[in-house]
Amino acid sequence: MRTMTIETNGFRFAVDEAGDGDHLALCLHGFPESRFSWRHQMPVLAAMGYRVWAPDLRGYGETEPKPRAVAAYCVDRLMEDVAALIDASGAKKVTLIGHDWGAGLAWTFATNKVRPLERLVIMNVPHPGVMRAHLGRSWSQLKKSWYMVFFQIPGLPEWLTTAKDARAVRQAFHGMAVDKTHFGPDVLDRYARDAQRPGAMTGMINWYRAAMRVPGKMAGPWPVIETPTLIVWGEEDAALGIELLDGTDAYVRDLTIKRLPGVSHWVQQEAPEKVNAILKDWLPAS
């Protein structure tokens, strides 16, 4: 695995790469993660014949610059980043893989057919249409999503999440994980260090601010996705209830769902062997 810089769409994206070939597996991380979150999947996908890219997304990690304006993190702008990375790769085929916010971005990218996709893999985030419907009628999910409202406050969330050597970031992983084996001090240090880079936490939280203030194409409409789609879901997700899977088939023509009991929101990091086995079984060798 090697790290490189891809200059495109006005950014210098830090990208981890593994494998080679014309079929790109583009892995999009979530909050408060980075490209590091795909460390367990990249060698497996490369061995299957994919060229794997895992970038630090806009506002995160070593990718620069980190815009301060909330509007810069509208999903429409974020989709431009994904398209630009795909174009820069020169790949002839693309499989898009996303977790958490990266999965929300992947859902929207596939729905809007920004670029052709061979396969779509979603981990522990519901389709935006399903999420909106549940937030409108589920008090349980509204309570779990309290942090999205808290993140709208200027400045305070950044201060609290980075205080005491980013203790809140460390706790987000270690505290939520059921099996904490893969969240040792070295892993938590990496995420804490990335979160404390200048401008990073504001950029990271601005994804949430933009989703409420400048929703763009995440607000719909949502045509049916024709791309074969796999959802991998850790059932012990403390932030997103398992009921958020209900109704997904109304938005996806060819849908496969794999549920992992006893696994938290950090599914691909907490249960890498199980997730990798699912990927190897569902994705065609390239």
Name residue 28's beta-bridge partners: 98
* Res 139: pLDDT: 65
* Res 136: pLDDT: 65
* Res 87: pLDDT: 98
pLDDT in tens, 68-102: 999 999 999 999 999 999 999 999 999 999 999 99
Collapse the DSSP code of 281 into the 3-class scheme (helix H, G, I; strand E, B; otherwise coil) and give the result.
helix
User: Strands 255-260, 51-55: parallel, antiparallel or unpaired by DSSP?
Assistant: unpaired
Domain ranges for the chain: 2-282
Structure tokens at 79: 């989709």
* Res 138: pLDDT: 66
Q: Which H or E element spans position 260?
A: strand 255-260
* Res 22: pLDDT: 97
- Burial of 282 per CB tally in 10 Å (0-12, 13-18, 19+): middle
Structure tokens at 192: 């804490």
* Res 198: pLDDT: 98
Query: Which is the catalytic residue, given 56, 81, 100, 237?
Result: 100
Q: Where are the beta strands (DSSP E) in 136-228?
A: none
Query: Which is the catalytic residue, given 29, 99, 134, 265?
Result: 265
User: Can 60 be counted among the known catalytic residues?
Assistant: no
Query: Which is the catalytic residue, given 23, 208, 237, 251?
Result: 208
* Res 144: pLDDT: 81
pLDDT in tens, 143-184: 788 888 999 999 999 999 999 999 999 999 999 999 999 999
User: Strands 51-55, 11-18: parallel, antiparallel or unpaired by DSSP?
Assistant: antiparallel
CATH class of 2-282: alpha beta
State which residues of the chain have pLDDT below 70. Answer: 136, 138-139
